[in-house]
Homo-oligomer: A and B are copies of this chain.
Amino acid sequence: VKPISIRGKPAAGGKLPLLCAPLVGATREALLEEAAAVRAAAPDVFEWRVDFFRDLGDAKAVVETAQALRRALPGLPLLFTRRSAAEGGQRIGVTEGTVVEVYAAVCAAGAAELVDYEMSNPPEHMKAVREASRRHGVGLVCSYHNFQETPPEAELAARFRRARELGGDVAKVAVMPRSQGDVITLLSATLQASQQLDIPLISMSMGALGALSRIAGFAFGSALSFGVGAGAAAPGQKPIGELRSAIEITRKAMHG
């Protein structure tokens, strides 16, 4: 499993998987309250799901809030994410052009270590986010989400490859299972992609049915698992403490 790097160094000393807690507050105040709870849960990375943020259209407010969150969570890398409504995020009243400007401002200010941008976005926007992030040493997580179903294994493989082709530093695939077989499909696609691609991967099968992928995905090539610090951002996310225990027990069983 390839670890995720932050400014050229493996995050958290190369720990696998990284545990990442999302922040989903609508205001700076709500976010800072969440950050306090997240700090207690001691994740390795925190994700700001900025599609929940009321002032998403205001680049200055976004950068300042990101900096305030960094001060509240000292030493923790920030993954900056606008999840689109089409891929399970909140509806926002802001054009994609503005979103890209906000991403660029966050990168230019050094206000995030990683940004997540969806591969389904128009190529010119992906290109702009890729250039802004590269220029400022920010890692790009190129992502694909499907909250309806788990596409066939070949399609999942193509999504991982596409993330690499688009210049992603990390490829992320999150899909919804309808059966335990779908969980196997996601784990199998992840394992194959980890053998074929030279970038780290993040993958999960969502919902209760997919819980195993959040716990044991690291054994199949996933470098990061999302857990709840204060509020869940996707179905199936478990409290960080529970997630950590389950991962450690699995790891011990595999290496014992």
Q: In the complex the two chains form, what is the Cα distance from A116 to B93 in whole Å?
A: 65
- Is B242 a contact of A211 with CB atoms below 8 Å? no
Q: In the complex the two chains form, what is the Cα distance from A253 to B227 in whole Å?
A: 12
Q: In the complex the two chains form, what is the Cα distance from A188 to B180 in whole Å?
A: 9
Tell me the interface secondary structure of chain A in the complex: helix
A interface size (C-beta, 8 A): 29
A255 at the binding interface (Cβ < 8 Å): yes
Among residues 198 to 256 in chain A, which have CB atoms less than 8 Å away from a CB atom of chain B? 208-209, 211-212, 214-216, 219-220, 238, 242-243, 245-246, 249-250, 252-256
Q: Which residues of B lie under 8 Å from residue A249 when comparing CB positions?
A: 215, 242, 245-246, 249
- Is B246 a contact of A211 with CB atoms below 8 Å? no
- Is B181 a contact of A191 with CB atoms below 8 Å? yes
Report A's interface with B, CB cutoff 8 A.
Answer: 180-181, 183-184, 187-188, 191-192, 208-209, 211-212, 214-216, 219-220, 238, 242-243, 245-246, 249-250, 252-256
Ranked nearest first, the 3 interchain pairs of A and B with the lowest CB-CB distance are: A211-B253, A246-B249, A211-B254
